[in-house]
């Protein structure tokens, strides 16, 4: 009897947690919609501020930092793009924060020498070691500049020429504005089903979530790239720190706890490369999941000490802990069989309807948010609906990878900052993502969930079977993709002509 109560209670708790995070998608979508028209109209007016400026002294001094480590496939692209930004040379300098130990160093030195001859203010900053990884490089770079503002781009990003002019306009006459964040767009969206699914997920985050938080006075995180900080905002809250794997989220929260403001601008988009290798994508997700929970453990105690509206506090906690859904999904999948074997119940018609509605809400929240984001990005088509199942499979299949990351964060297990390999313009590269045996665990869990489906159908508990089929399909899909790409990293998989579209790729 005790076991029955325990398993059923855990099952109900996990279901409620997933329901809460799904409802959060609806909340953020509502918050976005209610401010969208006014804020975007206002922002478009602000972005024209420097269009007629003639005096170079009217432009604030900016340093663009380009942190990189062994990025030979994309280093030249991002450096040239940064140098091509339309901003007075006397007010703009570029720092290449190069921690590389391979031929990237030669690539960087060559392109910098060429740009210096053209009058570009550019330098390379190198360190004896990688202490603090990216956070350490960014903090170290500040020692070599007195610029008032700091723009940051990862190596796989390609800023547009008007990025600085549009972004810097928001800082005029706003002394408490500490951060302007741009939106990520995608160079290689059409490469495969995996990249298309990633692109839609990223669009949902940037078009809906970031806008909803920024425009409604909630805590918003810097996304590590495609943004500009006011230098005093960085320094006032302790600078870049490397005790978490998401130094960007950590700094932006500490900054806002010091009452600095943020501005998210979806009309300022910066093209970037999405990981095409499923294992590279999993590495990236692992770092984000672990870093987010590390940041939550660090920041939530500080939130408790800060006076703020309860809704703002709740939104911050949900934001910082959103990767908790992955271990919860794992628990739910594992609990299905013991709950089935230990309990025997029959649902009344009304309770059956209630359960069905709960499941629909729990599974539809993210999909609704993604579709709304595609609509306001002008990219919604009936074909996009066919990406939703792929997104659900990948999101479910990541539960093992990200669940492991969350567990390591809770156990305070340290791990280095592993950058995500980029493809860039080099077709043959020696950069490969880290690989482990999580794909075996994913396949085993897929088989386990299929067994549960068989048992549930045999006991006439049809209501949970579709949910379990999603789990089984997700684990098997991601596990098989990971295993195949582990053995054959040169494969480009799942690129149906049905989704193929022409795209302009910056070079």
The closest alpha carbon to 444, from 282, 334, 290, belongs to 334
Per-residue pLDDT of the chain (507 residues; tens, 9 = 90+): 677 788 888 888 888 898 899 999 999 999 999 999 999 999 999 999 998 877 898 999 999 999 999 999 999 999 999 999 999 999 999 999 999 999 999 999 999 999 999 999 999 999 999 999 999 999 999 999 999 999 999 999 999 999 999 999 999 999 999 999 999 999 999 888 889 999 999 999 999 999 999 999 999 999 999 999 999 999 999 999 999 999 999 999 999 999 999 999 999 999 999 998 888 899 999 999 999 999 999 999 999 999 999 999 999 999 999 999 999 999 988 988 887 777 665 655 576 667 667 767 767 889 999 999 999 999 888 777 788 888 888 999 999 999 999 999 999 998 777 667 666 655 455 556 666 678 899 999 999 999 888 877 766 555 666 778 888 999 999 999 888 765 554 444 444 444 444 333 333
In whole angstroms, what is the distance from residue 93 CA to residue 61 CA? 8
- Phi, psi for 123 (deg, rounded to 5): -145, 165
Return the sign of the alpha-carbon dihedral for residues 144, 149, 155, 160: negative
In whole angstroms, what is the distance from residue 476 CA to residue 470 CA? 10
The closest alpha carbon to 82, from 10, 18, 158, 143, belongs to 158
Contacts of 27 (CB under 8 A, 6+ apart): none
The residue extents of the domains of the chain are 2-25+323-496, 27-320
Residue 154 bears catalytic tag: no
Contacts of 302 (CB under 8 A, 6+ apart): 253, 254, 257
Own/partner pairs for 335-338, CB < 8 Å, 24+ apart? 335/7, 335/10, 335/11, 335/14, 336/11, 336/449, 336/452, 336/456, 336/464, 336/468, 337/448, 337/451, 337/452, 337/455, 338/3, 338/7
Catalytic residue selected from 98, 99, 156, 203: 99
Q: Give the global pTM.
A: 0.90
Element (H, E) at 243: none
| Three-class secondary structure of residue 105 per DSSP | helix
Residue 99 bears catalytic tag: yes
Q: What share of the chain is helix, strand, coil (3-state, %, to 5)?
A: 60, 10, 30
**27-320 carries CATH number 3.90.550.10:** yes
Tokens linked to 47 = 């972005």
Tokens linked to 328 = 């919860």
Catalytic residue selected from 248, 250, 269, 277: 248
Q: Which residues pair with 151 in a beta bridge?
A: 64, 228
Cα angle, residue 434 at apex, residues 431 and 439 outer, rounded to 5°: 135
| Three-class secondary structure of residue 289 per DSSP | helix
Distances (CA, A) of 432 to 398, 435, 486: 19, 9, 10
Instruction: Locate all alpha helices (DSSP H) within 306-348, ordered by sequence.
Output: 310-320, 325-342
Amino acid 390: pLDDT: 84
Q: What is the CA radius of gyration of the chain?
A: 24
Do residues 422 and 156 touch, judged by C-beta distance below 8 A? yes
């Amino acid at each position: 009897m005790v076991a029955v109560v325990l398993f059923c209670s855990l099952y109900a708790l996990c279901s409620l947690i997933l329901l809460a995070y799904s409802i959060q998608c609806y909340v953020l979508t509502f918050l976005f919609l209610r401010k969208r028209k006014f804020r975007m109209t206002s922002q478009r007016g602000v972005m024209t501020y420097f269009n007629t400026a003639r005096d170079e002294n009217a432009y604030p001094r900016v340093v663009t930092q380009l942190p990189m480590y062994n990025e030979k496939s994309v280093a030249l692209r991002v450096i040239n793009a940064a140098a091509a930004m339309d901003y007075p040379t006397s007010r703009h300098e570029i720092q290449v924060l190069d921690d590389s130990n391979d031929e990237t160093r030669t690539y960087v030195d060559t392109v910098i020498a060429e740009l210096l001859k053209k009058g570009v203010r550019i330098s390379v900053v190198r360190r004896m070691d990688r202490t603090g990884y990216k956070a350490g490089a960014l903090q170290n770079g500040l020692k070599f500049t007195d610029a008032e503002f700091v723009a940051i781009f990862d190596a796989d990003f390609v800023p547009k020429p008007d990025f600085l002019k549009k972004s810097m306009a928001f800082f005029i006459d706003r002394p408490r504005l500490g951060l302007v964040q741009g939106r990520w767009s995608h160079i290689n969206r059409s490469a495969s089903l995996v990249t298309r699914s990633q692109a839609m997920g990223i669009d949902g985050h940037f078009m809906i979530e970031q806008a909803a938080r920024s425009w409604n006075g909630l805590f918003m995180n810097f996304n590590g790239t495609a943004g500009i900080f006011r230098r005093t905002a960085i320094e006032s809250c302790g600078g870049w720190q490397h005790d978490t794997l998401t130094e960007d989220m950590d700094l932006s929260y500490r900054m806002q706890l010091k009452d600095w403001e943020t501005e998210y601008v979806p009309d300022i988009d910066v093209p970037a490369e999405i990981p095409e290798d499923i294992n590279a994508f999993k590495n990236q997700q692992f770092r984000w999941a672990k870093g987010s929970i590390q940041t939550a453990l660090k920041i939530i105690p500080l939130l408790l000490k800060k006076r703020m509206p309860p809704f703002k506090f709740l939104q911050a906690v949900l934001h910082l802990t959103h990767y908790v859904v992955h271990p919860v999904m794992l628990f739910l999948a594992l609990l299905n069989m013991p709950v089935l074997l230990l309990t025997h119940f029959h649902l009344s018609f009304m309770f059956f309807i209630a359960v069905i509605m709960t499941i629909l809400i729990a599974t539809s929240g993210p999909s609704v948010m993604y579709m709304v984001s595609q609509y306001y990005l002008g990219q919604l088509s009936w074909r996009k609906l066919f990406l939703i199942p792929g997104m659900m499979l990948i999101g479910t299949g990541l539960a093992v990878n990200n669940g492991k990351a969350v567990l390591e964060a809770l156990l305070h297990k340290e791990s280095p900052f592993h950058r995500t390999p980029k493809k860039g313009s080099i077709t043959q590269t020696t950069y490969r993502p880290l690989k482990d045996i999580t794909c075996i665990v994913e396949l085993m869990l897929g088989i386990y969930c299929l067994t549960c489906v068989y048992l549930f159908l045999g006991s006439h508990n049809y209501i949970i079977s579709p949910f379990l089929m999603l789990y089984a399909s997700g684990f098997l899909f991601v596990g098989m993709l990971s295993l195949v790409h582990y053995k054959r990293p040169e494969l480009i998989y799942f690129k149906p002509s049905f989704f193929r579209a022409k795209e302009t790729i910056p070079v």
